[in-house]
Amino acid sequence: MKKVILVLIIFTLRVGEISAKVYDDSDTVQSAPQQQKEDIKKAKPPVKISVSFAYGGTEFIPQKEDFKKLKEASKAKKIFLSGRTSTLKKSWKDEQLAMGRALVARQWLVEKQGVDPLKIFINFVSARDFIADNDTKEGQTKNQRVEILLLFEEENSDGEI
């Protein structure tokens, strides 16, 4: 008969490093072996993508390099979409626009990339969440966006998730 051991790994983030402690069923704390630490570092990192929109637009057109990253979306465990506008002050119209951008990105991921819609989480901010200087046309275009975050599960040594 096989004995099942419950192992819980807790991560502590420190400036510039990740440390891990392993808790087993005997309630003792051990430092994670070096191999486990290396396996933790091998986890596929999150993928961040920002897709810009024309002023007032909701047409989702990823750039070529972003399109390549988005092909991996169906393999993600969770996907977070954040619709944004380039306005300075909240309004109902801009709330609808920010939400519409996130929804059109969701629809594109489901229809074009085969993503399970239950993996997708949406939020939106209609004003003052800028990544570029909003005083220029180029900056405003960058601020009119959907941010996409793809989160992946780590594979074990057998290639299974």
pLDDT value of position 10: 37
Q: Which domain holds residue 127?
A: 47-151
Residues 67 and 142 in one domain: yes
Q: Assess if residue 62 is contained within a domain.
A: yes
Tens of each residue's pLDDT in the chain, 161 residues: 544 443 333 333 333 334 444 434 444 444 444 544 554 555 689 999 999 999 999 999 999 999 999 999 999 999 999 999 999 999 999 999 999 999 999 999 999 999 999 999 999 998 988 999 999 999 999 999 999 999 997 655 455 55
Alpha-carbon distance of 29 to 120, in angstroms, equals 36
CA distances from 124 to 35, 43, 81, 161 (A): 40, 28, 8, 31
Q: Which of 129, 106, 128 is nearest to 119 (CA)?
A: 106
Q: Could you tell me if residue 128 is inside a domain? A: yes
Q: Are 72 and 146 contacting, i.e. CB atoms less than 8 angstroms apart?
A: no
2, part of any domain: no
Other beta carbons within 10 angstroms of residue 124's beta carbon come to: 21
What's the total number of domains in the chain?
2
Same domain, residue pair 52 and 95: yes
**Do 53 and 115 reside in the same domain of the chain?**
yes
Asked whether residue 129 is assigned to any structural domain, the reply reads yes
pLDDT score for 20: 41
Strand partners, 18: 13
Contacts of 57 (CB under 8 A, 6+ apart): 144
Is 53 found in the same domain as 32? no
